[in-house]
């Protein structure tokens, strides 16, 4: 697998490994702790368990060794994270079948080093249990002995940074019939691992994109707030929410990931999830307030308390996301072999969480569509005031309405793409636990959504910054006094409840003339 691919690199790469069976004798256990599958200090190996039985080697003296990466390769900090999935190759035997609800107890150790001659340094050690989920597709008869079960992939390990060049896994399957440990798990033939990491090429594209976008949003945000502070009135709710959206976008943009190249920061995955969660909650809350503030017939506006019924569930959902993430990646900071998917209760909770999160995202989008529909209906009702105006002012307000409707449609499109991306991200995070039902997010979609968010936030701050022009206070010479009441009403409702905040860039002096 190539470390860098300059032409549209995919976000991740999966590498398959077959564990090597090493023999651990009492003498060797006193000399060394780590077993290398190949190289100058490789372990004593056996090919099959039949060979072990012939040599009278007990199962407790067999160590499954996996070196990551493959020979003549090396890991890189550009890979960002390492997720490892486990799968057992289990043969069917009439006298040794897999029991229902069978649990495999795994004694696993992880070590690292940065060159091929230094000693291995232990990184983690744990005793883990994984529930087997295997099916035998044919009839369980003596004629079919030796055929393999079809077993589901099992979550095994996740490391939040790849700070070292070489990693070594030593896996033992201790057997203790008295304590019922690893009894009734069938005849295990091999252990296969799948290591997944972020591509170095995609990491470089991702870092460059964040580095470029950070100053862009920061500059427009400073310019936007300066325009607000120049106004004689205090900022209104919509303007404050737009600023908060810009701050959350800047927070997720800041490329702190550059530090992960030089530092072993295993908490970067958790930190990235927290940043994305804050942005999600801010973006979803902004859309609700954005539409609500433009509902012209709404009597109460410009107060956050008006939206507590809509914003409250968003904040609560974001808090639940945080708790769920802490239960997974928070614990993995201490034990990279921990997984909420390992237990039956944890799996049900995780599945329920993903399903509920997807349903809530769809319901949110439908509610947002309803709000946009209400805004469009009210805008159409106010257009009846336009024919009574002069031609110049009518063109001016028709331009405002057109731009406003266009921005609302862009908002709806952005919301739809965000909901789709959120659902796919949740499914993608757990797809290894669902067998063949996988969803792959390619780099174009991933970076495209991120670029869309930045462009949208940039456009909102640019278009909603108060203008130095005062079209609402000026009257065209052709306007009759009788029309001024309707004119002022439309000015107030289209621009903002408090008047001076303009929704779009004005048409220009030609509209007045």
28 pLDDT higher than 80: no
Using omega within 30 degrees of 0 as the cis cutoff, is the peptide bond preceding 69 cis? Answer: yes
CATH architecture under which domain 202-512 falls: Up-down Bundle (1.20)
Mean pLDDT, rounded, for 41-69 = 86
Q: What's the pLDDT score for residue 3?
A: 42
The yes-or-no verdict on residue 379 having pLDDT over 80 is no
Question: Could you report the per-residue pLDDT of 170-193, keeping only the tens digit for each?
Answer: 999 988 888 888 888 888 899 999
In three-state secondary structure terms, 369 is helix
92-96, 262-266, 495-499: the lowest-pLDDT one: 495-499
Helix (H, G, I), strand (E, B) or coil at 157: strand
Average pLDDT, the chain: 80
Q: Which two tokens stand for residue 380?
A: 């159409």
pLDDT band of residue 213 (cuts 50, 70, 90) is: very high
SS3 at position 508: coil
Label residue 159 exposed, middle or buried (CB < 10 Å: 0-12, 13-18, 19+): buried
pLDDT score at 300: 61
The pLDDT of residue 454 is: 93
pLDDT higher than 90, residue 293:
no
- pLDDT of 191: 93
Rounded average pLDDT over 297-318: 79
User: What tens digit of pLDDT does each residue of 407-432 get?
Assistant: 888 989 999 998 888 888 777 665 44
Q: What is the mean pLDDT of residues 365-390?
A: 77
* Residue-level pLDDT at 339: 87
Contact indicator for 182, 58 with CB cutoff of 8 Å:
no
Q: Which are the contacts of 260, defined by CB distance < 8 A and separation ≥ 6? A: 77, 80, 161, 268
Q: What is the pLDDT of residue 389?
A: 64
pLDDT 10s digits, 333-349: 889 999 888 888 888 88
Flag whether the pTM goes above 0.95: no
Q: What's the pLDDT band for 489 if we cut at 50, 70, 90?
A: very low
Banded model confidence at residue 275, pLDDT cuts 50, 70, 90 = very high
Query: In which residue ranges of the chain is CATH 1.20.1070 found?
Result: 202-512
Task: State pLDDT tens for residues 452-483.
Answer: 999 999 999 988 887 655 444 443 333 333 34
Would you place residue 21 in the very low, low, confident or very high pLDDT band (cuts 50, 70, 90)? very high
pLDDT band at 143 (very low <50, low <70, confident <90, very high): confident
First to last CA, the chain: 66
Q: Quote the pLDDT of residue 48.
A: 85
Closest CA to 134 of 149, 155, 147, 115: 149
Supply the DSSP symbol for 402: H
């Amino acid at each position: 697998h190539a470390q860098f691919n300059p032409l549209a690199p995919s976000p991740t790469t999966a590498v398959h490994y077959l564990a090597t069976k090493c023999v651990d004798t009492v003498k060797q256990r006193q000399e060394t702790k780590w077993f290398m599958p190949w190289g100058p200090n490789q372990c004593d190996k056996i090919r099959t368990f039949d060979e072990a039985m012939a040599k009278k080697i007990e199962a407790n003296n067999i160590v499954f060794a996996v070196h990551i990466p493959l020979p003549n390769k090396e890991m890189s900090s550009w890979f960002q994270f390492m997720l490892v999935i486990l799968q057992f190759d289990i043969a069917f035997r009439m006298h040794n079948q897999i029991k229902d609800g069978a649990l495999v107890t795994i004694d696993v150790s992880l070590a690292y080093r940065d060159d091929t001659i230094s000693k291995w340094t232990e990184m983690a050690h744990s005793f883990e249990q994984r529930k087997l989920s295997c099916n035998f597709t044919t009839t369980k008869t003596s004629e079919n002995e030796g055929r393999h079960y079809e077993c589901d992939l099992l979550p095994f390990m996740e490391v939040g940074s790849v700070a070292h060049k070489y990693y070594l896994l030593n896996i033992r399957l201790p057997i203790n019939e008295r304590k019922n440990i690893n009894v009734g798990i069938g005849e295990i033939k091999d252990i296969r691992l799948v290591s997944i990491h972020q591509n170095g090429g995609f990491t470089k594209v991702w870092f460059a994109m964040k580095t470029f976008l950070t100053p862009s949003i920061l500059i427009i945000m400073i310019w936007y707030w300066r325009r607000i502070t120049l106004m004689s009135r205090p900022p209104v709710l919509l303007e404050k929410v737009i600023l908060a959206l810009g701050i959350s976008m800047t927070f997720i943009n800041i490329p702190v990931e550059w530090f992960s190249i030089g530092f072993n920061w295993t908490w970067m995955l958790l930190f990235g999830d927290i940043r994305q969660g804050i942005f999600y909650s801010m973006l979803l809350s902004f859309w609700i307030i954005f539409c609500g503030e433009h509902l012209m017939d709404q009597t109460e506006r410009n107060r956050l308390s008006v939206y507590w019924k809509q914003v409250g569930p968003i904040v609560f959902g974001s808090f639940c996301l945080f708790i769920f993430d802490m239960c997974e990646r928070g614990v993995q900071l201490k034990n990279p072999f921990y997984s909420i998917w390992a237990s039956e209760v944890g799996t049900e909770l995780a599945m329920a969480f993903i399903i509920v999160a997807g349903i809530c995202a769809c319901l949110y989008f439908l509610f947002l569509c309803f709000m946009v529909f209400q805004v469009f209906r009210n805008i159409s009702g106010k257009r009846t005031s336009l024919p009574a105006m002069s031609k110049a002012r009518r063109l001016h307000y028709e331009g405002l309405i057109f731009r406003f409707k266009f921005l609302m449609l862009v908002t709806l499109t952005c919301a739809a793409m965000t909901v789709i991306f959120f659902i796919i991200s949740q499914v993608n995070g757990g797809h290894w636990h669902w067998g063949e039902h996988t969803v792959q997010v390619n780099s174009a979609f991933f970076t495209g959504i991120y670029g869309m968010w930045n462009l949208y936030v940039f456009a909102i701050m640019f278009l909603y910054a108060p203008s130095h022009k005062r079209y609402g206070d000026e009257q065209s010479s052709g306007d009759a006094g009788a029309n001024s009441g309707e004119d002022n009403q439309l000015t107030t409702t289209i621009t903002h409840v408090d008047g001076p905040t303009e929704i779009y860039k004005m048409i220009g002096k030609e509209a007045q003339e």
